[in-house]
Amino acid sequence: MTILVTGATGTIGRNVVEQLVKRGADVRALVRNPEKANLPAGVAVAQADLLDVDSVRAAFSGVSTLFLLNAVVPDEFTQALTALNLAREAGIERFVYLSVIHSDLYVNVPHFAGKFGVERMIEQMGFKATILRPAYFMNNELMIKDAVTGYGVYPMPIGSKGLAMIDARDIGEIAAIELIRRETSAAPLPLERINLVGPETLTGAKAAAIWSEVLGRAIAYGGDDTAGLEKNLRQFMPPWMAFDMRVMGERFLTEGMIPEPGDVERLTGMLGRPLRSYRDFVAEIAAPV
C-alpha cells in the first residue's frame, strides 16, 4: 500500500511528505529532479513530469492512494486531467486533491477556474476523493516581508472582506490525516470537500495592525491597489501569472475568503490542537535570523 505525493518538493507537498513519514506511511514522491529533492529518509522517489505520460504511468504503478497537487502553470488543467485519467487507468481509487477555497465563486480567476474544472472531473469520473479547499497561505507573506519591514507598508491588497489565512504546515498535516484515513479504510470512502482555513479572518487593516504589534512600530495598510500588485509582481514572475494574481486580488476585495460555519471547529478536531495563528506566523518570519 503506497501513497504517492505529487508536487512533493514544493511548500505544501514537502509538508505532506513529512507528515506522512511521521505517521509511518509508505510514501512515494513524484519529483522532476531527484538530485535536488532532499526528502526524508525512507521516501521512495519517482522521477516524472505530469505532461510525460510514460513517466507518470511508471510513477503510478503500485500506488493505492494519490495526493494530487498541481502547480500554478499555464497548462495546470491539462496536467491535472492527464493525471486523473492515468490514475483511473492504474486502478487508483483513493484521492486527496488540493483545490482552493471558493473555486466555484472566483470563476474568472484562471487558476481557480482550472481547479474547479478538476473538481468537476473528479465527480464526473466517479473518484472517491477528499477535495481540500485551502484559503490564502500565510506562507505567501514571506514574499512581502522585506517590503513590510523595509518600507513600513503592508502591500497586499486583501481588502476589508477578509481572508481566513492558513499556515501551510496545517494544510500538510490535514492532507496527511486525510490520505491515511482513505488509505486505511476497508473500502473507498465517499467524496467530500473540506475548507482549509485559519483561526481568524484577516482584513488588510488587521494584517497591518498585527505586523505593527509584532515589529513594535507602525505598519500601514497599502490599500486596495490591484493594478499596483500586478506591476510589482511582474518584476519576478511571468506577466500571465502576475495578471492571474491581480484578478484574484480583485475577488479578495469583492468576496474575500470567508469560512463556512463550523470550518474552524472541524479542522481543530482533525488536528487535535488549535490552528496556527497569523500573529505567531508573523512573529516567526519577522524574527532576526
Distances (CA, A) of 40 to 8, 26, 173: 11, 12, 16
Report CA torsion sign: 205, 105, 87, 64.
positive
- Degrees to nearest 5, angle at CA 114 with 111 and 118: 135
How many other CB atoms are found less than 10 A from the CB of residue 283? 15
> Which residues, in sequence order, are CB contacts of 7 under 8 Å at separation 6+?
13, 30, 69, 70, 71, 98
> Phi and psi dihedrals of 97, rounded to 5?
-115, 130
Q: At what angle do helices 76-90 and 110-124 cross, to 10 degrees?
A: 20
User: What is the DSSP code (8-state) at residue 25?
Assistant: -
Could you tell me the pLDDT band of residue 208, with boundaries at 50, 70 and 90? very high
Beta bridge partners of 257: 163
Residue 25 exposed, middle or buried by CB count within 10 Å (0-12, 13-18, 19+): buried
How many whole angstroms separate alpha carbon 267 and alpha carbon 174? 8
The angle, 0 to 180 degrees and rounded to 10, between the axes of the packed helices 226-233 and 239-254 is 160
What three-state secondary structure class fits 132? strand
User: What does the pLDDT read at residue 289?
Assistant: 63
**Residue 96 bridge partners (DSSP):** 67, 130
Question: In this predicted model, what pLDDT tens digit does every residue of 141-181 receive, in sequence order?
Answer: 999 999 999 999 999 999 999 999 999 999 999 999 999 99
Whether the full predicted model's pTM is greater than 0.85, yes or no, is yes
C-alpha Rg value of the chain to the nearest Å: 19
How many other C-beta atoms can be found within 10 angstroms of the C-beta atom of residue 168?
21
**Model pLDDT for residues 28-57, shown as the tens digit of each residue:** 999 999 888 899 999 999 999 999 999 999
- DSSP class of residue 285 equals H
Can you read off the three cell numbers belonging to residue 226?
Answer: 490591484
| Whole-number pLDDT of residue 1 | 80
Taking the C-alpha atoms of residue 13 and residue 8, their distance in angstroms, rounded to an integer, is 4
Cell, residue 162: 477578509
- CA nearest 284: which of 199, 205, 219, 210? 210
Residue % of the chain over a pLDDT of 70: 100
Residue 287 reports pLDDT greater than 90: no
Give the separation between CA 276 and CA 71, rounded to whole angstroms: 24
| Cα–Cα distance measured from residue 221 to residue 209, given in angstroms and rounded to the nearest whole number | 8
pLDDT, averaged across the chain: 96
